[in-house]
Amino acid sequence: MAKILRVNMTDRTAAYEDVPDKYKFLGGRGLTSTIVHDEVDPTCHPLGPNNKIVFAPGIVTGTNAPTSGRVSVGGKSPLTGGIKESNAGTGWSQLVGRLGIKAIIVEGYPTDDGWWGLHITKDGAEFFPADEYTGKGLYEVYPLLFDKFGKKVGIASIGIAGERKYANSGVCFNDIDNRPSRYSGRGGLGAVLGSKHLKFIVVDGEGAPGVEIVNKGLFDQGRKKLTQALRSHDITKPGGGLNSYGTAILVNIINEAGGLPTRNFREGRFEGAAKTSGEAMAELCKTRGGVGTMGHPCHPGCIIQCSNVIPNPDGSELVSVIEYETTWAFGANCGIDDLDVIGKLTWMANNYGMDTIEAGGTIAVAMEAGLAEFGDGKRAIELMEEIGKGTPLGHILGQGAATTGKVFGVVRVPGVKGQNMPAYEPRAIKGIGMTYAISTMGADHTSGYTIAPEILACGGDVDQFDVDKAELVRNFQYATAFIDSTGHCLFIAFAILDIPEGFEGLVEECNGVLGTEWTMDDVGRIGKEILAKERAFNAAAGFTKADDRLPEFMKYEKLPPHDVVWDVPDETLDAVFEE
């Protein structure tokens, strides 16, 4: 039977509990948000003793379902002050699922100054001292841990950003090659682990019993349907867009649409976009050779394989992975068109334990403040070094774009609820702007990826400038909350939006594991229930409709090249969840 592992950092105990009936059919985001809703005081200080951080593999994570190695990490966010679910793809979550652990709840508060790791095996969970690993980069630390615990373990960790409780600190997981490169990055949940002095959670899956599957035949039927859909859709199939060019295939597409935020959201097109695109990365891998590769999986069983390994000029490894959001955050958003500089900044973010979206957004705001010129890659690296060194300026930058903007008196700070916007300009693509505004997570494209129909013509073909999208945005948020609960990568959405059999397969997989009798009509209901808990938490934390708004400057600053402003009425935003 699946269990919940409750880790108390006050007395350093780790005990298994039976799963309450109310959590029986939950996983991933549905479970993390429900536990946070049920157990965390919404008014607590995010870094105080009453916050908790919850890890949950998805419903099918740990099975052989395709592209299902996702983990949800939840808690109260130090960055937004609201509920947070941050998601990553990693083999770590598959090991947790196979050990029969439905969730890991970390609570309590340290009574001493020591740092600790937790080692989980089929026989239980034990603490180990971790002081010797603090104050160091994760690229130095991870090999030491794999030497100590074996090459097949999974590692969840924080870097020095989390140790220092920066609001821009993520939770890092190892990728398929054991790099410290897969991040539940957004929202500063690494700082929550840092406040509890839990540096690592090392999971050994040897001898694990595996995920219980109630109806194996139904599960296999669903798995085959979803696999077929993923292998036949142009975006997700082998040799398709994501596999060939990674997520950064979007750079040229979004740039052409006039929605690539450039130089801290001053413009919607970047003249250097092509140099920072997925196509440019593929060419770099081809010409430099060595370890460079596209079509790299982030976890075992991923069949989309949209990761990459970017080489140095001599063919050695520069970094893995440069995602679309990352090449934009350190690239167009900072006016930088050099992939070697972007790769170096990405490596630094990985090494320190930081979210690349917030880090790039922070550097762009710092450039706005005059700390550097837009396009100055050398100075951008120096600003990241300030964060790594922990200088006074570094501590400011480590708290994210909103804090940096306040300290330096910057008006153009493109965020919602304290979280910097991702790589889609809301003035030019209205649906994703609505998603930013009303998401429970702060500005977050993954809360409801309306880019699919607005730009990519997946699941329909919607005018990017249309402001009447309340129903679209609502439905995408509900469906996304469900997908985030299954443990599948959100990129399955491209295929299941266009191929109904793939959607059927997703639901059948879940029914096979859980023994439920869900239909496709239940997906919206389940997503709605998850969003209701998240919204209730935020309301109790003090959020109102006034927090579901985009920055004022977007209402009066026209965005080139289309010269558009943010013109979605507040009433339309408020109507999204008022069905």
Instruction: Quick: pLDDT tens for 155-176.
Output: 999 999 999 999 999 999 999 9
Judge if 39 and 80 occupy the same domain.
Answer: yes
Q: Which residues of 214-249 are buried (b: 16+ CB within 10 A; e: fewer)?
A: ebeebbbbbbebbbbbbbebebbbeebbbbbbbbbb
- The whole-number average pLDDT for the span 403-415 is 98
Residue 243 lies in a domain: yes
Amino acid at 306: C
Judge if 87 and 131 occupy the same domain.
Answer: yes
Condensed to tens digits (0 to 9), the pLDDT of residues 184-209 reads: 999 999 999 999 999 999 999 999 99
- Is the pLDDT at 275 greater than 80? The verdict is yes
Both tokens of 344, joined, read 């170096």
Nearest to 359 by CA among 340, 386, 320, 321: 386
Q: The CATH number of the domain where 460 resides is what? A: 1.10.569.10
Residue that terminates a domain, selected from 161, 185, 203: 203
Q: The CATH number of the domain where 16 resides is what? A: 3.60.9.10
Residues with Cβ within 8 Å of residue 547, at least 6 apart in sequence: 416, 417, 538
Name the band, by pLDDT with cuts 50, 70 and 90, for residue 1: confident
- Is the pLDDT at 550 greater than 90? The verdict is yes
Residue 506 lies in a domain: no
- State the greatest distance between any 2 C-alpha atoms of the chain, in Å, as a whole number: 62
Judge if 171 and 313 occupy the same domain.
Answer: no
> What does the alpha-carbon distance between residue 73 and residue 105 come to, in Å, rounded to a whole number?
10
Condensed to tens digits (0 to 9), the pLDDT of residues 222-254 reads: 999 999 999 999 999 999 999 999 999 999 999
pLDDT of amino acid 578: 83
Judge if 105 and 193 occupy the same domain.
Answer: yes
Residue that terminates a domain, selected from 181, 203, 225: 203
Judge if 298 and 405 occupy the same domain.
Answer: yes
- The whole-number average pLDDT for the span 45-52 is 98
* Alpha-carbon separation of residue 311 from 45, 299, 315, 336, 381 (angstroms): 42, 20, 5, 18, 19
Round the CA-based radius of gyration of the chain to a whole number and report it: 22
Beta bridge partner(s), residue 120: 125, 203
Domain span at residue 445 reads 234-498+518-575
Nearest to 324 by CA among 260, 267, 236: 260
Judge if 167 and 252 occupy the same domain.
Answer: no
Both tokens of 158, joined, read 């924080």
Condensed to tens digits (0 to 9), the pLDDT of residues 476-532 reads: 999 999 999 999 999 999 999 999 999 999 999 999 999 999 999 999 999 999 999
- The whole-number average pLDDT for the span 84-91 is 98
> What does the alpha-carbon distance between residue 222 and residue 111 come to, in Å, rounded to a whole number?
49
Judge if 245 and 168 occupy the same domain.
Answer: no
- The whole-number average pLDDT for the span 549-562 is 98
Both tokens of 495, joined, read 């295929």
> Into how many domains does the chain fold?
2
The beta strands (E) that lie in 101-158 are given as 101-107, 116-121, 124-129, 154-157
> What does the alpha-carbon distance between residue 62 and residue 208 come to, in Å, rounded to a whole number?
10
pLDDT of amino acid 579: 65
- The whole-number average pLDDT for the span 11-40 is 98
Judge if 42 and 134 occupy the same domain.
Answer: yes
* Alpha-carbon separation of residue 437 from 105, 318, 433, 527, 550 (angstroms): 29, 36, 6, 18, 6
